[in-house]
Amino acid sequence: MYAGHFAVGLALKAKRPAAPTWAILLGTGFLDVLFGIFVMLGIERVTMTPHVGQGFSLDFIDWSHSLVMSLVWSALYGLIFWRRGRAVAFLIAFAVFSHFLLDLPMHPKDLALWPYAATHIGFGLWNRLPYGWWWIELAVIAGACAYYLHRARRQISFGGYAWWASAVVVVLHVLNAPWWKS
């Protein structure tokens, strides 16, 4: 769902042009950045599963992707931008939390409520709709990029490269199509 995360980041930029684009886009992927670090440190675990589902199983991602920790990471990341104003800090914090919200429909039940919680959530569209999830994400991308492009035309303070940014997001999504992996 990387492209979907970035597309929502562009939409958030359109909502609050004063927020730094790099901070929003990094925020939308921040939980995955933490996940990569935590896997390398042995705190979280992933198993590669070639030719099955997404090609990996997220065995333990409670510290980067649980509901409570997503809120904690969102707050901490947003605090870094507090000097830019409350509205910008909250938007950037929401960019981080949007990652959890977008992962929820796609992931199988591997998103814990908090670290080591017995209850894990996720609607599992990756597994339930082996090709359909891609189209659902494309709809999210189309909506978010359309909003971004619409606002870019109306605002002169951002969006000079709005079409290019949107095109890059769409290309990333096309390159992540499940039929390329078969």
Mutual angle of helices 86-106 and 132-154, in 10-degree steps: 160
Q: Cα separation of 58 and 130, whole Å? A: 17
- Would you state the pLDDT for residue 117? 98
Along the 182 residues of the chain, how does pLDDT read in single tens digits? 689 999 999 999 999 999 999 999 999 999 999 999 999 999 999 988 776 666 678 899 999 999 999 999 999 999 999 999 999 999 999 999 999 999 999 999 999 999 999 999 999 999 899 899 999 999 999 999 999 999 988 877 666 789 999 999 999 999 989 887 65
Q: Is 85 helix (H, G, I), strand (E, B) or coil?
A: coil
Q: How many CA atoms lie within 13 A of 73 on its CB side?
A: 26
pTM to 2 decimal places = 0.93
* pLDDT value of residue 180: 78
In the chain, domain spans? 2-181
Which pLDDT value is given to residue 159?
Answer: 63
Measured between its terminal Cα atoms, the distance across the chain in Å is 18
